[in-house]
């Protein structure tokens, strides 16, 4: 609501300003017309034609009447033009407020139409420039593709020769490697590694090596000989073993009453 009131006030102010300006324009126009209408016109007297004095000769020469007429005509013509201008000024009537507003609106409309035409011309120029850029890029792309195709046609012959040379070199290297392997196999006999499973009793899993060593020393004091520590998944695990079977490991847990101990398998390579 407040915004609408402000808008109405602004509209009223602008309308008042327009009315005041139009009134001032009308007063100025009427004043100018009154000054022109009531200004006295200087009635110029007709200039008498000048008589040309001719020296007396043996034969008298007649005077041309056309000369006197031509001399008097320009001045009378000027007086007639001044009278016509005064009549035209008297015939002009002052413009009304409506006519002034119409003229302003027509001027605004013509200016807007000119602006729109200029904008259209600019848009057309931009579109033509973009089209030219697109066509130029297409031409460049086509030229690049043609050059690449020509290069591809020239390259296969060279690449085929190089590929054959590389294959021959690789075959020679492979034969040399096979011969070397045969010689090594003859000289050094290959040892066969065997993997065996053993059973251990896990006593605890701790986050630090110090605590794991403390637990290990405790079980060593009790008389257990084969106590080891392994690191697995971020923990230090204390194991007792090793046993050849699951049954043997479980009997060890029962016999020594190891609480929280459980049997697990470890693989060893011999």
Which tens digits make up the pLDDT trace of 169-200? 888 888 777 777 766 665 555 566 687 889 99
Contact 55, 107 (CB under 8 A): no
Arithmetic mean of pLDDT, 118-128? 89
Q: How many residues does the chain have?
A: 270
The pLDDT of residue 55 is above 50: no
Query: What residue ranges do the domains of the chain occupy?
Result: 2-101, 195-269
The pLDDT of residue 59 is above 60: no
The pTM for the full model equals: 0.31
Alpha helices in the chain (DSSP H): 2-38, 65-91, 97-187, 209-221, 246-256
The model's pLDDT over 76-118, given as tens digits with 9 standing for 90+, comes to 455 555 556 555 555 444 567 778 888 888 888 888 899 998 9
Report the C-alpha gap between 243 and 261 in whole angstroms: 14
The reported pLDDT for the residue numbered 155 is 60
What does the radius of gyration of the chain's CA atoms come to, in whole angstroms?
62
| E strand segments, the chain | 195-206, 227-232, 235-243, 262-269
The pLDDT of residue 264 is above 80: yes
Contact 257, 199 (CB under 8 A): no
Report the C-alpha gap between 8 and 184 in whole angstroms: 106
Name the packing angle between helices 2-38 and 65-91 (round to 10°). Answer: 150
Report the C-alpha gap between 200 and 267 in whole angstroms: 11
Arithmetic mean of pLDDT, 237-245? 91
The pLDDT of residue 213 is above 90: yes
What string of DSSP letters covers 49-63? PPPPP----SSPPPP
Arithmetic mean of pLDDT, 208-236? 92
The model's pLDDT over 10-53, given as tens digits with 9 standing for 90+, comes to 888 888 899 899 999 999 998 888 888 776 555 444 444 555 45
Report the C-alpha gap between 99 and 153 in whole angstroms: 81
Mean pLDDT of the chain: 77
Q: What percent of the chain stands above pLDDT 90?
A: 23
Q: Rounded to 5 degrees, what are φ and ψ at 189?
A: -70, 145
Pick the CATH number of 195-269 from 3.40.140.10, 2.30.130.10, 3.30.70.1070, 3.20.10.10: 3.30.70.1070
Helix/strand/coil for 42: coil
Q: Give the number of other Cβ atoms within 10 Å of residue 219's Cβ.
A: 17
The reported pLDDT for the residue numbered 220 is 92
Arithmetic mean of pLDDT, 206-213? 93
């Amino acid at each position: 609501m407040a915004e609408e009131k402000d808008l109405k006030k602004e509209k009223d102010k602008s309308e008042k300003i327009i009315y005041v300006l139009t009134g001032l324009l009308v007063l100025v126009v009427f004043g100018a017309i009154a000054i022109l209408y009531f200004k006295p016109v200087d009635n110029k007297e007709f200039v008498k034609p000048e008589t040309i004095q001719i020296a007396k000769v043996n034969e008298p020469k007649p005077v041309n009447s056309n000369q006197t007429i031509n001399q008097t005509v320009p001045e009378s013509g000027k007086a007639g033009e001044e009278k016509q201008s005064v009549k035209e000024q008297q015939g002009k009537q002052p413009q009304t407020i409506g006519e002034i507003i119409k003229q302003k609106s027509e001027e605004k409309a013509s200016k807007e139409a000119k602006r729109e035409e200029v904008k259209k011309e600019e848009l057309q120029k931009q579109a033509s420039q973009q089209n030219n850029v697109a066509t130029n890029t297409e031409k460049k792309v086509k030229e690049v593709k043609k050059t690449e195709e020509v290069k591809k046609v020239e390259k296969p012959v060279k690449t085929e020769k190089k590929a054959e040379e590389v294959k021959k070199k690789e075959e020679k290297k492979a034969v040399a490697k096979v011969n070397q392997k045969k010689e090594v196999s003859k000289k050094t006999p290959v040892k066969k590694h065997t993997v065996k499973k053993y059973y251990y009793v896990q006593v605890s899993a701790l986050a630090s090596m110090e605590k794991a060593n403390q637990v290990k020393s405790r079980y060593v004091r009790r008389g257990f000989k084969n106590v080891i520590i392994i690191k697995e998944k971020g923990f230090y695990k204390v194991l007792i073993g090793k046993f050849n079977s699951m049954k043997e490991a479980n009997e060890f847990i029962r016999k020594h009453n190891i609480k929280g101990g459980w049997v697990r398998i470890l693989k060893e390579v011999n």
